[in-house]
Amino acid sequence: MNPTTRATITAVAAAVIAVGGFLGTRYLALSALVIMAAFAVGWPVLARVSRRWVSTAIVASGSVLALGAVVLGRQEPYLRYMVVAVAAIVVAALVAEVFLPSPQGRAVTAVAATAAGGAIAAAGAAWVASSRTPGDEDLIVTGAAALALAAVASVVTRNATVNTVGALVLAAASGGATGYVFESITWYGGILVGVAAGVAVVLVAELYRREPRPHSVWAGIASAVTPVLVAGALVYLGGRLLVG
């Protein structure tokens, strides 16, 4: 998958989050679940895990557990039970390696890859946590819009430095503009959220650039939606700092 296609998928996934956040928590949870499912299928291929479907099952189950914990939570902070889901993913990865071992010399890699993938997927539940926090709803649209624009800017030229600077500037400008429009956040708060979203995009883009280009479509999709899932946690933290 070429960088342009990957950036397009990132922008589309961010737009799905933005629309879900605008429509309400139920739709946002459904949007996050779809993105988590696509990530769970593609991540083991991207991470070159030997027993891919075992890893997919663990990451997918942990994602559902994390999302359910946030949706069904009755009191803030809604992410406190998500930690249990992340711990369960790590334990499941270890147990699976004992009973369904990878080829010799790949055990540590398989456990680390599955645990990391589960943590990334679970971070997507933070989008829903932001939606359930009073005053944070507008941050979802702000962060998602910045993600989409940063993804597009990250592949405008062939120069990685130019793309990185452009993505961060455009994400910050987008965050500031939407922050100025929404009453619940300030323009400088929007800039902070935009920069956080832009950082998630450029870091993953840089890591992707250093790796061999995956031939699998699902691996490319997983790499494309990774910044969207990671940014969920960053947007939630921004909401806690800016809104309370």
Give residue 33's domain range.
3-242
Question: What is the gyration radius of the CA atoms in the chain, in angstroms?
Answer: 17
Residue 216: pLDDT band by 50, 70, 90 thresholds?
A: confident
Mean pLDDT for all residues in the chain = 87
80 DSSP assignment: T
pLDDT at 57 over 90: yes
Q: Residue 229: name the closest of 201, 205, 207, 206 by CA.
A: 201
According to the model, what pLDDT value does residue 206 have? 82
According to the model, what pLDDT value does residue 137 have? 67
63-67, 146-150, 184-188, range with the lowest pLDDT: 184-188
* CA–CA separation, 13 and 104 (whole Å): 37
Cα–Cα separations (whole angstroms), residue 219 to 57, 119, 151, 224: 16, 17, 17, 9
Cis amide bond preceding 77, omega within 30: yes
pTM of the model: 0.89
Average pLDDT estimate for 93-118? 90
Number of domains making up the chain: 1
According to the model, what pLDDT value does residue 227 have? 92
According to the model, what pLDDT value does residue 75 have? 73
